[in-house]
Amino acid sequence: MILEHMRSATRSLWGNKLRTFLSMIGIVIGVGSVVAITALGESARASITSQIAQAGLETVTVNVGRRPGAAVERLFTEELVDKFTEFEGIKAAAAVNRSNAQLKAGEESASEQITSATPAYLDIFSLEMREGRFVTEADMLERSAVVVLGSELADTLFPDGGAVGSSVRVLGSSPKQLRVVGVLETRSDTFGFSFDSGAFVPRTSYLVRIAKPDRPDSFVLWADPDARDVVETAAELQAWFDAETGSENAVRVQSPSTIAETMSGVTDTLSGFLAGIAAISLVVGGIGIMNIMLVSVTERTREIGIRKALGATPAAIRVQFLVEAIYITLAGGLAGLALGMGISKVASGFLGWDFILSPSSMAVAVAFSAATGIFFGLYPAARAARLDPVVALSYE
């Protein structure tokens, strides 16, 4: 029976191609935007998740906040590192300073950041070596004039290879010569900081050769998720700093999870807003369908009369028109699915996200369009079913 209705719906919609197409457009746009939004939302989330995974789920950073004040100047000392390691749920800590520098090796040069590093730094960011070694305890004790290069920087300064064992000059008022002892494995950006283009110098050596900062810029901590939830550790640290500094804005403790929460909060708000717009366009599309179905019922009043004379029950007439409405919206929904996938593919390409074709967004498209068809087709179908056979038969 449904098959029969589909056959008759095809014939009636095909007989009115332009009208069918026009009445479908609203649904196409509505479903298209729903699909694009859900797909982009998932791409955004996946992109954030992968950045977090890159950053290491076990890394907590302690930065100077928006209004540091005197308390921070007093608190932010090298001794804080020992305090951190005593803290429950923290395995290692390192004070960090960075400064911009002009690096030169032979004819090649690059302007990049030099970061102070301790042996713990490697574990904190789960860095891996492509060649050579990282900063060691011996380097720390001897304040060795050595440097570890990010992969990209190594390739820039030593395009022919052979970085390890070679020398790099740090230009400035008193140029320094550093021996390259290692090159890091390539690693994609994590929240704006690139390990690949960095240069890492033992902290003790950094403080005598590269810069003489008043205090550490920040601290990086290696949290132990087995001992304690990382978010909880970060929250407790934040509370400790807030108490010590007497201000909520002096020090900022961040874990990848807190960053992720902030970012997904933003994308959730955005996709909620866009989903609202999409829902409105679906409703508008649905009203278009309802309108076209009402026109169709009126036009085909006589046909309905004939069908009733031949024995069509009200239920049969209702199903016939409902199938037709669902047919239009489903066809529109599939077209919208294609459109939405196209949009999200192009947009993810622009934003540098992975394009994710999720079954859930496809299911959403099909479900939404069928539901729109049922909801907005119900009234016209009921009207057709209620027609008086004699009146319908004498309709001109």
Q: Does 2 engage in binding with another protein (CB under 8 A)?
A: no
Q: Using a CB cutoff of 8 Å and minimum separation of 24, what contacts does 126-131 make?
A: 126/56, 126/58, 127/184, 127/185, 127/187, 127/195, 128/184, 128/185, 128/187, 129/182, 129/183, 129/184, 129/185, 130/154, 130/183, 130/184, 130/185, 130/186, 131/163, 131/164, 131/182, 131/183
Query: Applying CB under 8 A, does 17 fall inside the site for another protein?
Result: no
Q: Which of 143, 224, 389, 395 is close enough to bind another protein by CB under 8 A?
A: 389
Binding track over 307-346 against another protein, x by CB under 8 A: xxxxxxxxxx------------------------------
Q: Which of residues 186-205 bind another protein (CB under 8 A)?
A: none
Q: From 120, 124, 150, select the one nearest 135 (Cα to Cα).
A: 120
- 302 contributes a contact to another protein by CB under 8 A: yes
Q: Which is nearer to another protein, 305 or 333 (CB)?
A: 305
Nearer to another protein, 239 or 309 (CB): 309
Least separation, in Å, of the C-beta of 312 and another protein? 5
x/- mask, another protein, residues 252-291, rule CB under 8 A, reads: ----------------------------------------
* Cα distances (Å, whole numbers) of residue 32 to 44, 59, 137, 171, 264: 18, 39, 58, 56, 23
Q: Which is nearer to another protein, 274 or 393 (CB)?
A: 393
11 binds another protein (CB under 8 A): yes
Residue 110 vs 304, nearer CB to another protein: 304
The DSSP annotation for 214-272 comes to: SS-SEEEEEE-TTTS-HHHHHHHHHHHHHHHHT-SSSEEEE-HHHHHHHHHHHHHHHHH
311 versus 352: smaller Cβ distance to another protein: 311
d(CA 284, CA 30): 8
Contact segment (CB under 8 A) with another protein among 9-17, 93-101, 111-119, 206-214 equals 9-17
Residue 10 sits in the site that holds another protein (CB under 8 A): no
Read off φ and ψ for residue 59, nearest 5 degrees.
-95, 130
Out of 19, 83, 393, 395, the only residue in the binding site for another protein (CB under 8 A) is: 393
Exactly one of 57, 129, 270, 306 binds another protein (CB under 8 A); that residue is 306
Show contacts with another protein in window 127-186 (CB under 8 A): none
The DSSP bridge partners found for residue 112 are 101
Q: Which residues contact 82 (CB under 8 A, 6 or more apart)?
A: none
Asked if residue 303 binds another protein (CB under 8 A), the reply is yes
By the 10 Å C-beta count (0-12 exposed, 13-18 middle, 19+ buried), 273 is classed as: exposed
Q: Which residues of this chain interact with another protein, rule CB under 8 A? A: 1, 3-4, 8, 11-12, 15, 302-303, 305-316, 389-390, 393
